[in-house]
Amino acid sequence: MHTRRTAPPAIPLAKARRIVVKVGSALLVDGASGRLNRAWLETLAEDLVRLRRRGQEVVLVSSGAIALGRRHLGLAPGPLRLEESQAAAAVGQIRLAHAYKELFEAHDVTVAQVLLTLEDSERRRRYLNARATLHGLLALGALPVINENDTVATAEIRYGDNDRLAARVAQMASADCVLLLSDVDGLYTADPRKNAKAAFIDRVPRVTPEIEAMAGAAVSDVGTGGMSTKIAAAKIAVSAGAHFCIAAGAHKHPVRRIENGARCTWFLPQGNPAAARKQWIAGTLRPGGALTVDEGALRALRAGKSLLPAGVVRSRGRFDRGDTVSVLAPDGREVARGISAYADGDVTRIMGRKTSEIAMLLGFSGRDEMIHRDDLVMIDGGADR
C-alpha cells in the first residue's frame, strides 16, 4: 500500500530550494565518551556545503547541547532534573556552536546561531520576528544553526525535542524539504526490534491514524524524540508544504547517502509552502483592522507585489504589528488579507508616504513594506503567488 514508489527517493532532496536538516544527539555525541563525533560531523558539513554550492539554502537544526554539556559538568548518566539540563545545555551549546563555526568556516561558510523557545513559534509576533531573522540570515548567505534555547526553557514551555522544532522551523523558513537524520532509518509497520514481520514504509502520502499508530516504540537512548514526535513533526511539515524525510544518519556523508538511494521514509507534502502560509492568513485569523488602498497599489497587489505605505489611503481598526488586516479596494470591497508590519498608529503616520521616509516619520527604521507579499493573500480571485 504505502511501499509503492513513484519517484526515486532522493528527488525531493535534489529539487528542494530550501532544506532543513535536523541532526539528533545520538549522532552528534558519542554515547560512551560524551564527546562530539567530529569525524562524522565533518562529513555532514561537507554534504551541507555541497547542497549550498548547487544553489540550495540550508538550515541546520542541531541537538546535542545537553548530551555534550553534561559530561563537562560531571552529571551522572540517566535522566536529568530541569535545572541540570538547563546547565548542561548552557555548557554544551557553546561547544556545539564553536564546532560548527570551525567546521563551516573551513568551507568559507558563515554560520549563525539561533536559539528558539517554544513561544517564538507559537506567538505570532515572535514568530514573525524569528521568521524575519531566518529569512534575513538566508538572504545574507549565512547558514543558520538552530537549537531550542534549553537554558531558559522550562518544563511547561518547551518543545523538548528537536523533531518538532525542526518542523516549526521549516514552517517559519518556508522550507520545502525537511530531513531528520536520526538513529532509525525510517518508519516500520511495527517495532522492527520486537517484530520480525515489521515492514519498512518508504513513502507516506498522508499521515493517517494508522500511520500514527505505527509510531509506537522506536525510541533512541540519547535523544529525546521517539518515533511519535517524528510523526508529529511530519504532520506539521507536510501541512506546511514540505517533503519530510526520516533517515538513518549515523553513516558518514549521511545526506549524500540519501541522495544515492539509501533507504528512508518520505512523507509527501499536502500543499506548497506559500499555499499553507496563505491558508493560515486567509482562513485562521480574524482581521484586526482594514487598510484601504489606491488603484495603483491594487494593481501592484494583483501583480503579486507587496503593499507599500505609499499605496495606503486609509486605516481602520486597532491592530498591532503582526496582526492580520483586511485590504480594501478603493470601492470598499475586501480584496486581500495580510499581516501588517506596523501597528495601526504607525500606519496612520506612514500611509501615503515613501518607504524612504519611514525612519524619519516613526523614529525607527521598520520594514519597507506595509504588508510583505509573502504575508499577503488575495481573496477575490486576483493574482496570487
> Site residues (CB under 6 A) for ligand GLU?
25, 63-67, 89, 147-148, 150, 161-162, 223-225
Centre a 10 Å sphere on the Cβ of residue 331 and count the other Cβ atoms it contains.
Answer: 8
Residue with cell 491514524: 209
**Contact between 196 and 151 (Cβ < 8 Å):** no
Minimum separation from the CB atom of position 134 to ligand GLU (A): 18
* Residue among 62 and 265 whose Cβ is closer to ligand GLU: 62
* Residue among 30 and 320 whose Cβ is closer to ligand GLU: 30
Minimum separation from the CB atom of position 69 to ligand GLU (A): 8
Of 298, 276, 290, which is closest to residue 374 (Cα–Cα)?
A: 276
Minimum separation from the CB atom of position 93 to ligand GLU (A): 7
* Residue among 3 and 154 whose Cβ is closer to ligand GLU: 154
Residues 6+ apart with CB under 8 A from 277: 171, 174, 240, 374, 375
Minimum separation from the CB atom of position 196 to ligand GLU (A): 29
Minimum separation from the CB atom of position 253 to ligand GLU (A): 22
Could you tell me where the DSSP H helices lie in the chain?
Answer: 11-15, 25-28, 38-53, 65-72, 82-105, 118-122, 124-139, 162-172, 209-214, 227-239, 254-259, 273-279, 295-302, 344-350, 358-362
* Residue among 80 and 328 whose Cβ is closer to ligand GLU: 80
* Residue among 160 and 288 whose Cβ is closer to ligand GLU: 160
Give the integer Cα–Cα distance in Å for 370 and 350: 9
Query: How far is CA 86 from its chain centroid?
Result: 23
* Residue among 45 and 80 whose Cβ is closer to ligand GLU: 80
Minimum separation from the CB atom of position 34 to ligand GLU (A): 12
Burial 36-55 (b: 16+ CB within 10 A, else e): bbeebbbbbbbbbbbbbeee
Residues 6+ apart with CB under 8 A from 213: none
Minimum separation from the CB atom of position 62 to ligand GLU (A): 7
* Residue among 94 and 198 whose Cβ is closer to ligand GLU: 94
Give the integer Cα–Cα distance in Å for 40 and 256: 13
Helix axes 38-53, 82-105, angle to 10 degrees: 60
Minimum separation from the CB atom of position 207 to ligand GLU (A): 20
**Contact between 289 and 318 (Cβ < 8 Å):** yes
* Residue among 225 and 338 whose Cβ is closer to ligand GLU: 225
